[in-house]
Amino acid sequence: MTTSEQLFEKAKTLIPGGVNSPVRAFRSVGGTPLFMKSAKGPYLYDEDGRQYIELINSWGPMILGHAFEPVEKAVRDAIQHSFSFGAPTRKEVEMAELITTMVPSVEKVRMVNSGTEATMAAIRVARGFTNRDKIIKFEGCYHGHGDSFLIAAGSGAMTMGVPDSPGVTKATAADTLTAPFNDLAAVEALLDNNHNQVAAVILEPVVGNMGCVLPEPGFLEGIRSLCNKHGVVLIFDEVMTGFRLAKGGAQERFGIVPDLTTMGKIIGGGMPVGAYGGRADIMNMVSPAGPVYQAGTLSGNPIAMSAGLAMLHYLNEHPEVYTRLEEIGEKLTTGFRAGLVKAGLNYTINHIGSMFTMFMTERPVSNFIDAKTCDLPLFGRYFHAMLKRGVYLAPSQFESLFMSVALTDELVDQVILANEESLIEAMNKGE
Ligand SMILES: *Cc1c(COP(=O)(O)O)cnc(C)c1O
């Protein structure tokens, strides 16, 4: 048994499913999850001392590579001054100023401890602001594990939500309406049929959580104008895309101004941090400025703020990071496309900047229904073939991969070669 296998056996007796977040368990690809011990730059090292090239980067945060020195130093400096005060600090002011500079639609911002907290608070504020109860979300978009977001609509976009998870009440589900991504007409119909009842539309402007799915031309613009027409708060969930697709996130890249934005992942530099912010008139609803309650004992934690500030300062001051990420993304996906051709496959690759997914389906993927046509057993075999060649991918077809600037051209070439070989191996094994 490998050390990872031993640890996983023990973990399963102590932690539900052996993991502290479900996708880590490798359920959708089979096999035993690798237990990680350390990481530096583009490499991960597991408990058995094996090295992997990183293509997840902690689901986004490690955009500058692991253990990036300025972030590490900021944390080292901060720990000398105590880990937490439960009182305001200078760093929180600096953080708010930096966020509002990088993401201009954010006039005021509140720090929290995860992306989940940020989205839960954002819809509460939108409801308080509009005095309405319902929200619209999109099938396949993930906004953390808050009750209101764990809803699928089945096939009918007009139907009320039904819970995805036991423990979410029917009453909560009934306030969540869902539409297929990229389907403006469905959103329009929901808004018409629920006149003056919808508080917010929330979406990932570029979806990462059903695999990488891009907004079709006009979709984000259309949502923006529907929200204006119906007095609905538009929330961009940029927990994945924020500070990644551009310094100012997807909203900068696509030129759309949301009312509220939720952030996470990169914003903490690897520490547990989230944030929500936006229009000052809406954010002034938040306690103690306004009546909408939201709080956190460890929110704005000085160690977490130090890591996040070091990360964001670096990104703000080094625009070449984004140029390089574009180059890496272009080179990697061009290589993956060539690999598909060599393997005689005509599968779909969705790509933007440093995010991409190779979907094991010939169908173009612009929503969750399309994504679900993928050959999942093939993906599982491909995943393990890549792992064997030292490339660490997301252990699910329905995830985006995230690149870091630590990927050198040589490493990109290695990954491209591994992809070619793995595709062929996965196909042969299936026969
Ligand atoms: C990861 C993610 C979340 C949840 O953030 P956590 O920090 O895991 O709670 C919310 N929204 C999006 C778009 C995400 O990718």
Measured by CA distance, the residue closest to atom 6 of ligand 1 is 115
pLDDT of 104 above 60: yes
* Same-domain check for residues 111 and 241: yes
Q: For residues 259 and 278, is the Cβ–Cβ distance under 8 A?
A: yes
Measured by CA distance, the residue closest to atom 5 of ligand 1 is 115
- Contacts of residue 320, defined as CB under 8 A and 6 or more positions apart, other chains included, come to none
Domains identified in the chain, total number: 2
Buried b or exposed e, range 194-218, using 16+ CB within 10 angstroms: beebbbbbbbbbbbbbbbbbbbeee
* Same-domain check for residues 56 and 73: no
CA 220 to chain centre: 18
Give the pLDDT mean for 419-428. Answer: 97
Least confident range of 153-167, 314-328, 386-400:
153-167
Q: Which residue has the higher pLDDT, 54 or 152?
A: 54
pLDDT of 50 above 90: yes
* Same-domain check for residues 260 and 383: no
pLDDT of 213 above 60: yes
For the chain, percent of residues with pLDDT exceeding 70: 97
DSSP code for 402:
E
Model pLDDT for residues 280-308, shown as the tens digit of each residue? 999 999 999 999 999 999 999 999 999 99
* Same-domain check for residues 37 and 107: no
- The two tokens of residue 367 are 């929503």
* Same-domain check for residues 154 and 166: yes
Model pLDDT for residues 136-189, shown as the tens digit of each residue? 999 999 999 999 998 863 444 344 566 778 898 989 999 999 999 999 999 999
* Same-domain check for residues 380 and 415: yes
Average pLDDT in the chain: 95
Give the pLDDT mean for 260-265. Answer: 98
pLDDT of 267 above 50: yes
CATH number at residue 352: 3.90.1150.10
Band of residue 431 on the pLDDT scale cut at 50, 70, 90: low
Annotation marks residue 314 as catalytic: no
Number of helical (H) and strand (E) elements in the chain, helices listed first: 14, 16
Nearest to 294 by CA among 167, 100, 113: 113
User: What is the pLDDT, as a whole number, of residue 166?
Assistant: 86
Residue count of the chain = 431
User: What is the pLDDT, as a whole number, of residue 155?
Assistant: 40
Band of residue 1 on the pLDDT scale cut at 50, 70, 90: very high
Annotation marks residue 259 as catalytic: no
Omega before residue 288 within 30° of 0, cis = yes
User: What is the pLDDT, as a whole number, of residue 161?
Assistant: 62
User: What is the pLDDT, as a whole number, of residue 396?
Assistant: 94
What residues make up the domain containing 175? 69-317
Last residue of some domain: 267, 290, 317? 317
Q: How far is the CA of 239 from the centre of ligand 1 (A)?
A: 6
Q: For residues 35 and 47, is the Cβ–Cβ distance under 8 A?
A: yes
- The two tokens of residue 293 are 């309650």
Annotation marks residue 142 as catalytic: yes
pLDDT of 36 above 90: yes
User: What is the pLDDT, as a whole number, of residue 151?
Assistant: 82
Q: How far is the CA of 264 from the centre of ligand 1 (A)?
A: 7
With a Cβ cut-off of 6 Å, ligand 1 is lined by 114-116, 119, 142-144, 204, 208-209, 237, 239-240, 264, 274
User: What is the pLDDT, as a whole number, of residue 162?
Assistant: 67
Measured by CA distance, the residue closest to atom 11 of ligand 1 is 143
Neighbours of 283 (CB within 10 A): 23
* Same-domain check for residues 118 and 157: yes
User: What is the pLDDT, as a whole number, of residue 88?
Assistant: 98
Helix/strand/coil for 53? strand
* Same-domain check for residues 224 and 258: yes
